Every structure is written in C-alpha cells, then in structure tokens.
A and B are shown apart, each in its own frame.
Chain A
C-alpha cells in the first residue's frame, strides 16, 4: 500500500526566505517520488522527481528535494522564495499506482 502525507495545508513565507514543504510517504515497494506545482486554473507541472541514484534531486525554478529513506521523507526546499512561487504544491508517490498528497498552498509575502 502507498500513501502520501503533506504536513501543513498552508505555508506562508516572506519573499527571500527559505521555503520548506514537507512530505512523508509510505510504500511497500521502492518508490518513485515526485513534486508537482499547480497554478490557478492550470494542470499540474512536474517540479522534480526521484527514481534512483542521488538522493538530492534538483528541479526547476530553484527547487530541490532530498529522499531520506530512513525518515520516509521527501521534503521540498528552495533557499529564497519568489513571489512567483505562490501556488499549490503536491507530493506524489508511484509504486504500482500514483498517489497524491492533499497539497500545500504556498503564500509568499512581499
């Protein structure tokens, strides 16, 4: 069985501050892990993914995530938030099926 838990449905950060969005997963098979971003009235866009290999994954728009098997986590970070980062972020796991978390809405305060 697989599932994804995103801690914090809403996160607010100041422009220029660190962004940290949390994701924990459960999977009975080695997982593939994803972060997607969704802007209003748009579909989901892939930010980054972990399949195998290096556990620190770099994505688009300056985001990165680290796969920590011992903690079953895949938290998303960005060193300095930009106003354009305001969006909904979804963590997803793919074992034998795709499962999405409930999402975290990121607000960036000018």
Chain B
C-alpha cells in the first residue's frame, strides 16, 4: 500500500512570495489533515477535510492560508503571501473511515527568507 505522498519535499522562498504544497493521501482515506510543525514544537492542526468538505479550519490563518480538496482525494495548501514565521514543516496526514490512526506523509520543509 502506497503511503501519503507530499511534494515538494523542500521549498525556499522569500517573504511576500506565494507557495503551494500538494498532498495525495492513501487511497480510500476519507479524512485528510494539514499540520504545521515549527522547529522544536509538535504538529499543530491547520485544517481537516472529510472527503471534499472542511470539518475544522479554526486554526488556519485564513488571511494568508488556503486549502482545498476539490475531488475529495488530493489536496493543496497555499500560503499567499508568506511571512518569515511560516518557516516550518507542513505535514499531511490521512485517516481511513472508522479508524483513528493517522498516516503521515514525509512533510514539506518551507524556509521563508
């Protein structure tokens, strides 16, 4: 079974630029999460999707962050414009229905200069 795929693995941008991250969850997993993990901290939930609907985006900075999962499969997380404090690893995770075990992708490490 293929795992959660994320791309790119690394991204370096300057502040005020835009960036997008892509996630392809495990096939059949209805729930998809995006987390932000700042160096030295645990993952913080940004947004949770159930199929193509948003379940929880209460911690997503909506003035600059957006995410979509149009067909209920893969998802894109965008930051526009980026700030220095957005430097972090962005983790995607998926979860099959009726289960509570998340499967994580390798993450995208974003550096904002």
Contacts and interface: CB of A to CB of B under 8 A. Distances in A.
A67 interface: no
The size class of the interface chain B forms with chain A is: 20 to 34
A101 B100 contact: no
Contacts of A101: 42
A98 B42 contact: no
B104 interface: yes
Contact of B91 (A4, A44, A97, A99): A44
A9 B91 CA distance: 21
Given A32-B100, A43-B91, A49-B100, A100 B42 contact: yes
Contacts, number: 50
Nearest to A43: B104
A45 interface: yes
B4 interface: yes
A84 interface: no
- SS class, residues of chain A in contact with chain B: strand
The size class of the interface chain A forms with chain B is: 20 to 34
13 contacts: A4-B42, A32-B100, A42-B107, A43-B4, A43-B91, A43-B93, A43-B107, A44-B91, A44-B104, A49-B100, A49-B101, A90-B43, A97-B56
Interface of B: 4, 33, 40-45, 48, 56, 91, 93, 100-107, 109
